[in-house]
Structure 1
Amino acid sequence: MSANHNTISELALELGLAMGEMKNRLRQKIQAKINEYDPDLSFELIEIMGLLSRNDGINQQEIGIKVSKDKSSITYLINSLVKREFVQRIENKNDRRNKQIYLTDKGKQIVETVYPWALELYEKAAGDFSENEIKNALLLVKKMTTNLE
């Protein structure tokens, strides 16, 4: 193995760790803000509602993939959201076993309240980076993710 290859893999490892650390820090700060608003809401519930606000009507399996949660965790989280009337399950017309998940008006209201707080934190994280720097970093991470498929 060449020294260059070793350096690239070590840098990629460091990047992965740094991204994980950033995600954890953002998650903690967002959760703290959510707790002020509603102590019964968790980051995971908000994450799912935020995902639905961008992809309303996807099924539980797709949600699980996007938020990296297993089937039983997703079922539990969605049941909790349904019980609180933030989302509803609607049968797919073509496949009744496949239920699609939609935000309710009550759920949309929560997202509209919480989403700006999250954006504020991401803006703080972005600091004085230019739009191009962030776009290039995003491209890099997406390409690395694709390389793993």
Structure 2
Amino acid sequence: MEVKVLKSRGWVFYTVPNIPPHDPDKSGKWMYFWTDRAFVEEVCKEAISTGVVSIAKHSDASDGVACFYLQIDDFGGHKKVIRFFLDKGLVKKTKAGRFYDISFKLDNQTRAGEYGDNFKGRLRLSNFIDLGNGAFK
């Protein structure tokens, strides 16, 4: 699948040519914090070209965050993104070897300034997988 790349306002966006409509009240992202620019560029391109998501972006810097967008009620889409994250090693593990319970963040939560302790994710990785072994529930 073709991947369009656009740099704008501190971000590098990756999209399919014709982005499907998103409901702004349901739109959100799974995030990956990175330090390897070349790796994150390839991961974002692959997520688009293989149909994992139709929109991804990362910070236009030497380190930062990458976001993989979908709707909160697209449970099949969440499973695709999570499988992609697990396959690519994008979910860090604790010292005990368990996956961190990362959260899906709605765009409305970002716009409302919900960060750090003020952020409460409605969907977490533990809603989909066993954090001990990565098996889907």
TM-score range, shorter-chain basis?
under 0.3
Kindly name which structure, 1 or 2, has the bigger radius of gyration based on alpha carbons. Answer: 1
- The one of the two structures with greater contact order (alpha-carbon pairs below 8 A, sep at least 6) is 2
Q: Which has the higher helix share?
A: 1
> Larger % of strand: which?
2
